[in-house]
């Protein structure tokens, strides 16, 4: 009896042969799919290696068409701001020309401070010089009275007679205080802090001056009145030299007073009763008083001279140099047709970037300048003041370039 069990090795079985073909086809398809996948992955890796840059590829983002700038911003804003400043300067020039100014000094706070210090210093020197003159007269009178007392000391008891000039008020004590205050003028530290505000004091005052045509307006916080007319003397350097000469001359007076004081004390020690030493003692007190005043005055002048010649560590200049420079500036301000111009300028600019998904980003720029000014005459009076503004609306880079290249009117 023949075996009818299916035999995998029997190629004559049609059903078995068909199943075998299906299995082989399925295996071949799987191997083909895996091969195609491997080929695709290899091609992808190859492309990534050829076109990808260094760095973490996961952080790469698709381009958005945006435009960026660093902290310096776009140069077009700077150009527009400078152009606006030129327009304002032209308007300011027209106003200055109307007053027919021959000399224009640009305001500087440090220079104005030196003018104020110069006025105080000149007044101080005049005060010290006047004190020397008063002390000279007093010393001569005291010496004369002492000689008379010496000559009449043996005439017998007399009433004590005090020289009237002994009671003359002295300013030496006040001088020392004033010297300290003067020196402090050069040690004062001023701290200026800018604040962004909508309206400043400058703007209000300038508008006010522009409205009050018949009212004299002064601005002491900025420009003290009459600071260039504080003294009609020969000049600071010459006044200081004259003061030093008086100090040297006073040393001879001190020597003469000391000699007379010694003679008086010797005379007092030789007097015998009933002769009274009251008159001689009165003369000694008068000499002591005058000598004390002169010595105090000499100390004040010496302190002043030393303080004026000490070089400041920060500015590398001495107060004396600053005062002399201020005196030169004062001589210019006193000239006919001289005016001082003070300006305060602020500027701002903005860049606008417009973008969408279909076109490149479009950049436009705007900028504006605001100028507040005051024009002072020789006395410190504000004769003209105002606030000027100019603004450029949105312009592209090409429009900014055209404006500058062609020098187009604003």
What are the domain boundaries of the chain?
Answer: 67-102+336-410, 109-196+230-334
Q: Which residue has the tokens 């776009």?
A: 74
What are the distances in angstroms from CA 2 to CA 5, 7, 12, 185?
9, 13, 15, 136
Going across the sheet that includes 362-376, the strands are 103-106, 338-354, 362-376, 381-395, 217-218
Q: Which residue has the tokens 């020289």?
A: 163
Q: pLDDT, tens digit, for every residue of 224-276? A: 766 666 555 668 888 888 888 999 999 988 999 999 999 999 988 888 777 77
Question: DSSP for 159-197?
Answer: -----GGGGS---HHHHHHHHHHHHHTTT----------
- Range among 2-16, 71-85, 137-151 with highest mean pLDDT value: 137-151
Q: Which residue has the tokens 């840059």?
A: 53
| Integer Cα distance of 377 and 334 in angstroms | 9
Q: pLDDT, tens digit, for every residue of 388-397? A: 888 888 888 8
| Integer Cα distance of 286 and 137 in angstroms | 13
Residues in CB range of 91: below 8 A, 6 or more apart: 388
- Region for residue 65 given its phi and psi (left: phi exceeds 0; alpha: psi -120 to 50; beta: otherwise): left
CB atoms within 10 A of CB 12: 7
CB atoms within 10 A of CB 91: 12
| Integer Cα distance of 206 and 374 in angstroms | 7
Q: Of 128, 123, 169, which is closest to residue 297 (Cα–Cα)?
A: 128
pLDDT at 398 over 80: yes
Question: DSSP for 44-113?
Answer: HHHHHHHH--SS-GGG-----------TT--HHHHHHHHHHHHHHHHHHHHHHHHTT-SEEEEP-HHHHH
Residues in CB range of 188: below 8 A, 6 or more apart: none
The DSSP symbol for 155 reads G
Q: pLDDT, tens digit, for every residue of 93-134? A: 888 888 888 888 888 787 787 787 887 788 888 888 888 999
Report if pTM > 0.85.
no
Q: Of 305, 258, 274, which is closest to residue 266 (Cα–Cα)?
A: 258
Q: What is the pLDDT of residue 257?
A: 92
Instruction: Please state which of the ranges 23-37, 198-212, 268-282 shows the lowest mean pLDDT.
Output: 198-212
- Given the DSSP bridges, would you call strands 338-354 and 362-376 parallel, antiparallel or unpaired? antiparallel
The DSSP symbol for 340 reads E
| Integer Cα distance of 250 and 295 in angstroms | 9
Longest CA pairwise span in the chain (Å): 193
Q: pLDDT, tens digit, for every residue of 202-231? A: 666 666 666 655 656 666 667 776 666 655
């Amino acid at each position: 009896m023949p075996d009818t069990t299916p035999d995998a090795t029997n190629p004559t079985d049609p059903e078995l042969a068909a199943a075998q073909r299906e299995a082989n086809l399925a295996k071949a398809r799987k191997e083909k799919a895996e091969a195609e996948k491997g080929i695709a992955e290899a091609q992808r890796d190859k492309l990534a290696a050829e076109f990808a840059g260094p760095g973490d590829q996961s952080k790469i983002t698709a381009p958005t068409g945006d435009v960026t700038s660093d902290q310096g911003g776009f140069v077009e804003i700077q150009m527009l701001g400078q152009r606006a400043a030129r327009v304002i300067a032209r308007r300011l020039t027209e106003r200055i020309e109307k007053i027919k100014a021959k000399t224009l000094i640009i305001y500087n706070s440090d220079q104005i401070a030196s003018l104020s210090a110069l006025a105080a210093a000149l007044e101080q020197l005049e005060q010290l010089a006047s004190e020397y003159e008063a002390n000279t007269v007093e010393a001569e009178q005291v010496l004369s009275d002492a000689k008379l007392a010496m000559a009449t000391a043996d005439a017998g008891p007399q009433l004590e007679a005090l020289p009237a000039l002994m009671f003359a008020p002295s300013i030496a004590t006040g001088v020392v205080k004033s010297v300290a205050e003067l020196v402090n003028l050069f040690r004062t530290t001023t701290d200026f802090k800018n604040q962004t505000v909508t309206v400043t004091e400058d703007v209000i005052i300038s508008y006010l001056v522009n409205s009050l045509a018949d009212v004299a307006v002064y601005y002491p916080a900025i420009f003290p009145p009459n600071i260039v007319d504080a003294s009609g003397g020969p000049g600071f350097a010459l006044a200081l030299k004259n003061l030093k000469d008086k100090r040297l001359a006073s040393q001879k007076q001190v020597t003469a007073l000391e000699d007379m004081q010694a003679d008086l004390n010797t005379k007092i020690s030789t007097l015998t009763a009933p002769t009274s030493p009251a008159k001689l003692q009165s003369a000694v007190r008068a000499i002591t008083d005058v000598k004390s005043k002169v010595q105090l005055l000499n100390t004040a002048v010496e302190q002043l001279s030393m303080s004026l010649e000490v070089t400041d560590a920060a500015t590398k200049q001495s107060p004396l140099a600053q005062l002399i420079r201020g005196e030169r500036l004062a001589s210019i301000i006193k000239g006919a047709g001289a005016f001082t111009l003070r300006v305060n300028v602020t500027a701002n600019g903005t860049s606008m970037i417009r973008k969408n998904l279909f076109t490149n980003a479009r950049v436009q720029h705007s900028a504006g300048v605001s100028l507040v000014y005051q024009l002072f005459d020789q006395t410190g009076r504000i004769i003209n003041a105002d606030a000027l503004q100019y603004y450029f609306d949105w312009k592209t880079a090409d429009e900014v370039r055209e404006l500058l290249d062609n020098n187009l009117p604003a």
